[in-house]
Structures are given as C-alpha cells and as structure tokens.
Amino acid sequence: MRKRELKNMEWAIAVIAIILSIIGLVALFSATQNTEYDEFQKQLIWFGISLATMIAFMFINYETLVRLSPFFYGAFLLLLIAVLFTKPINGASSWFTIGGFSFQPGEFAKIFVILFLTMVINKIQQKGKQEINRPTRILIILTILAVPLFLIIKQPDYGTAIAFIIATALMLLSAEIDKKYVISVILLIIVAVPLVYNFVLPEHAKTRIDIFLNPESDPRGAGYNILQSKLAIGAGGLTGMGLLKGNQTQLGFLYPKTTDFIFSVIGEEMGFLIAGLIIILCVVLVTKILYIAKTAKDSTGTLIAAGIAGVFMFHIIENIGMVMGLLPITGVPLPFISYGGSSMITNYMMIGILLNISGKRQKSIFVK
C-alpha cells in the first residue's frame, strides 16, 4: 500500500471505533464482576482479534472483495441454513457454539450481502445508468436480498433482518433509483405495517410492540426490562453512580445487561456525560462513513460505504432508542460496545473496508 493511500484514509472512523470499544470494555468490566469477569475477558480477546481483522481488511482491495463476494454469499447462505438446526438460545437459532465461544453467521452475512449487491448493481449500471430503474433489475436485487432475509427471519432475528433492509435501501438510493420506487415503497410500508402486525408477526413480536407502546401494562412481565432500563438511565444523572455501584446493574435488575442493555449500564454508572459522548461519537461515525460514500473514487466504493452506513445507522438508533423506551426491543447490539465476538469482528471488518475505500480516493479531493 502506498503512502498516499495511508494518508488519505479516514482514520477518524478507526479512532472512534476504538474509543467506543474501550468504553464498552469498561462497562463490561463493571457489569460482569458477579460472574468473575467471564464476558469481559472474552471481549478483550475479541477486541484484539477485531483490531487484527481491521488491519487485514484495510490492506485488501475492496474491488477484490467484491469479485469474491458470490462465493462468500453462497457460503453464508449455507451457514444461515445450517444454523437453523442448532439448539435455540433465548428462543433464536442464530449461533454455532464451539467450546466456550459462539459464532453468529447472520452478523458476517451483512458484509457479504452488501458486497454481492454492490457487484450486481454495478453490472446492471454498466449497461446504462437507467437500467437500475427497470422492474426486472430491481426484482433481481430484491431476490438477492430476500434469500438471506428469509433465513434470518426464520431464526428469528428481526433486528438483523431490518439492518439488511436499511443497508439495501441506502445502496439503492446511492445508485440513484427513481423516486417513484421510493414513494411506492413508503406507501407499501404504510399499508403493510398493520397487515404484518395482525397476520404475520408471531405473538412474542406483537408483545414487544405492545409493551413498547405501554410498558406499564405488564411491569413485572414483558415490560420489566424496559422499565428497569429507563430507571437505570434516569438514576445515573449527569456523572453517574460510579463504576461497580449502579443499583439496577449490580443487583441484577437489568437483563441482558452485557448485550442489549449495555447502554443502560453506561447511563447508570457513567452518567449522561459519557452516554452523551457515545451518541456524539456515533453520529460523527455515521457522518464520516457517508462522507466516504460521497467521496469514493468509484460507484463500487460508494455502494459499499452506503450499505455499511445503513447497518451502523440502524444498529445505533435502534439499540439506544429501545433502551430508552423510544423504539420496540429487537435484541440489536450497540456497535463496538455490546458484548459479542461476531458483532465486534464484523464491525471492525467494515471499518477496515471503509479505510481501504477512503485510501483509494484521489488527492485532488483534499487539495484544491
């Protein structure tokens, strides 16, 4: 890799990712003191592996990844099928468990679906810019999305499924899809939401939505977690109750405090200042990724960065929104902060790819 590419890289996204990871490790240390820091120690290992993975992907040309994407797409479809036959964990068949560690193919699939969609959209646009607006072309794109989406929903993992949809939507917008399709999709969603709620969603998914709308209706049952989360965040005040001192965190009222509700732990023990810092860093991160999409040297880089921006945007908004009672609970992890090896490695893989894309930009972007 040339020095110019290293200089052009948007290093701020890597710095932000590492800062968020450190905050997450501190929160995990506090949240796992009653379990002999088991998850904290594992997360340290994943953090080291993730940094090495980021560096590796930073040096792999993103165009090479796109060319290889059909093989990875096919391989992860097979894994998504195989995982359906594993023993459910918390009601979902989403993980392969090997020894004391678990592997979630749905997390990694997000990257390779984005890469494969990029390849397909590029091939369509090579035949003409307006080709992307032909119904048959859009059907091909949606079919590529629909196969992994169906398998993810079967697990069931609705949060990851929505992340796939948001990523694809941003990619299509970046490909300059006709506005009539955007308007049609919005109208379709408006019509489909009540139909899906009444005739498609399983009871536990309906319950999550009902509890989101009125958590006080079942304070000791389905509404318990969100009420405890809001209490924890509110109790933290400006500077927090102190590490290892949060009432909801340390007395076991928050669950699961190391994954879905890690932001609540931070809010209670580190206070609004650190919780607010996380939100600011996340906003800057997504903004930087969108800037990379805008300034990429080619449409391939733009499409990949747009898809990754969609993944991060959804995860951040959904996780922080759900723990504050602003959105329904979906079990979506907070990037770089929530416990989970698959999520951590996937996030740093995406950061590595983004660094590679930003490094390929022309010098004239920065110098008049």
Residue 224 included in any domain: yes
Q: How confident is the model over 256-276, as pLDDT tens digits? A: 899 899 999 999 999 999 999
Cβ(94)–Cβ(155) below 8 Å: yes
How many domains does the chain fold into? 1
Residue 364, pLDDT > 70, answer no
Question: How far apart (Å, rounded) are the C-alpha atoms in residues 349 and 351?
Answer: 5
Domain assignment of residue 38, given as a range: 3-362
Residue 367 lies in a domain: no
pLDDT of residue 209: 80
Three-class SS state of 95:
coil
Tens of pLDDT, residue by residue over 177-202, are 888 888 887 888 788 878 877 777 77
Write down the pLDDT at residue 7: 86
pLDDT value of residue 33:
87
Cα–Cα distance, 244 to 316 (Å, whole number): 25
368 domain-assigned: no
Q: Is residue 344 part of a domain?
A: yes
Mapped onto helix, strand or coil, the DSSP state of residue 101 is strand
- Strand-pair partners of 98: 101
Is residue 187 in a domain?
yes
Tell whether 116 is covered by a domain: yes
**Which neighbouring-strand residues pair with 103?**
96
> Is 243 inside any structural domain?
yes
Read off the pLDDT of residues 148-165 as tens digits, 9 standing for 90 and up.
999 999 988 888 999 999
- Give the pLDDT confidence of 115-157 residue by residue, as tens digits: 999 999 999 998 877 888 888 999 999 999 999 999 999 988 8
Q: What is the pLDDT of residues 281-326, one digit of tens each?
A: 999 999 999 999 999 999 999 999 999 999 999 999 999 999 998 8
Residue 8 belongs to a domain: yes
Question: What is the number of other CB atoms lying within 10 angstroms of the CB of residue 111?
Answer: 24
**Cβ(160)–Cβ(206) below 8 Å:** no
Residue with tokens 């991160």: 285
Q: Which ranges of 157-252 does DSSP label H, i.e. alpha helix?
A: 158-174, 179-199, 203-213, 224-236, 247-250
Task: Let me know: does 50 contact 348? Beta carbons within 8 Å.
Answer: yes
